[in-house]
Amino acid sequence: MDQINQQFQDLLGQKNIKLKMVEEESQWSYFGKIPYQKDRLIDFVITLSKSDEMAVGQIVFNNLAYCLDETKKADVFGAINEGNVSMGLFYYMAMENDGRIFMRHVTNVTTDVEPFFSTLRIGNRLLKHFIPQLDSVLAVEE
């Protein structure tokens, strides 16, 4: 196994974090879920390219919300843009063509994987600020 992924897996073990790990040809993928509310889980995936010195690391929080209503897309893009301006230092938010909204971070990772792991924790905190903004824009008026 390459050194960076070994360091990352060791760190997960030290912190007693269990993620589904999948080895692919050029990278490792780590899948998990973060509880957001009692009945809502946020999927995330971490990928690290295979390398001993410098890897490409990516953290993606998926399915933050869905915008299926075409009349609300402009407001959702406004909320996404506002989130990117105010919280975009570590992550950026975007919406796929199917209406799925996600948050993503991409960076280089060295064998000191702690800063990359810290960015995962920061993402978790950002979700608590960003999702309520999305939910308010997407709320169905009664």
Domains of the chain: 3-138 (3.30.1460.70)
Mean pLDDT of the region 3-18: 96
SS3 category, 126: helix
Q: At what angle do helices 114-138 and 73-87 cross, to 10 degrees?
A: 150
What pLDDT, on a 0 to 100 scale, did the predictor assign at position 141? 46
Res. 77: pLDDT tops 90: yes
pLDDT band, residue 99 (cuts 50/70/90): very high
Share of the chain above pLDDT 70, in %: 98
How does residue 10 score in pLDDT terms, banded at 50, 70 and 90?
very high
Report the interhelical angle of 114-138 vs 3-14 (nearest 10°): 70
